[in-house]
Amino acid sequence: MSVDQVWGSQADEAERRRWFDPTFKIMAVKVLPGEHYVSTAGQEMIVTVLGSCVSACIWEPRMKIGGMNHFMLPESNSDGAPVDKSMRYGNHAMEELINDLLRRGARRESLEIKVFGGGNVIAGMSGGGTGPIGDRNAEFVRRYLSEEGLRIAAEDLGGPHPRRIHFFPRIGKVIRLFLKKDVERAVLTRELSYRSKLKDVPVEGDVELFT
């Protein structure tokens, strides 16, 4: 699998965000770092590639709709304030996706949640004095869902390899593929770029989780 097959090139990225996937014979939508997407279109697949970032794939079986996010925590140091900002950013990423589903009629108690990613794909990519960034992201998403009383139906977190995630929101199915070494650098480059931008992105207030 080439780098362009994983992420798409810069020049044609806009066109590649939505395409017909010949392998699965279905329309596909790509979710990039810092984004989320909710599908109500029926026959549609949501796709992302994860290194140290994490994604939650959330399905509402009654309405047969679902969504996926893709995020990592900003770098934090050992003092309290940056850690607080880091946690608030993670909360925001999760609550945006959940609230989007609830606004479309999903019931909170019916949500089926599967989480992926949090890999330590490159040695030395740390969370700023708080351990490997992949471990921090995985720990955050587990803790967040536990504190919100939301059950994890399945998880595939940690490890040394990047992942490609295919989520079918009409039926709640997820296919996870481990990627080979030749694409790890592309994943790392994209995530490092995303991570550097997080330093300058404020979390604009708190997002209230609808019930």
Range of the domain at 161: 20-176+191-198
CA–CA separation, 193 vs 93, rounded Å?
Answer: 18
- Comparing 41-45, 76-80, 82-86, the range with the smallest average pLDDT is 76-80
pTM, entire model: 0.81
On whether residue 88 sits in a domain, the answer given is: yes
Bridge partner list, 113? 58, 152
The pLDDT value given to residue 190: 74
More confident call, 57 vs 204? 57
Tally of domains in the chain:
1
Statement: residue 149 has pLDDT above 60? yes
On whether residue 181 sits in a domain, the answer given is: no
The pLDDT value given to residue 76: 56
Q: Which of 123, 116, 126 is nearest to 49 (CA)?
A: 116
Statement: residue 183 has pLDDT above 60? yes
On whether residue 4 sits in a domain, the answer given is: no
Say if CB 64 and CB 200 are below 8 A apart.
Answer: no
- pLDDT digits over 109-121, tens only? 999 999 999 998 7
CATH code, 83? 3.30.1330.200
On whether residue 172 sits in a domain, the answer given is: yes
The pLDDT value given to residue 200: 56
Judged by DSSP in three states, 45 sits in strand
Which tokens hold the place of 33?
Answer: 């770092």
On whether residue 48 sits in a domain, the answer given is: yes
On whether residue 15 sits in a domain, the answer given is: no
On whether residue 204 sits in a domain, the answer given is: no
On whether residue 82 sits in a domain, the answer given is: yes
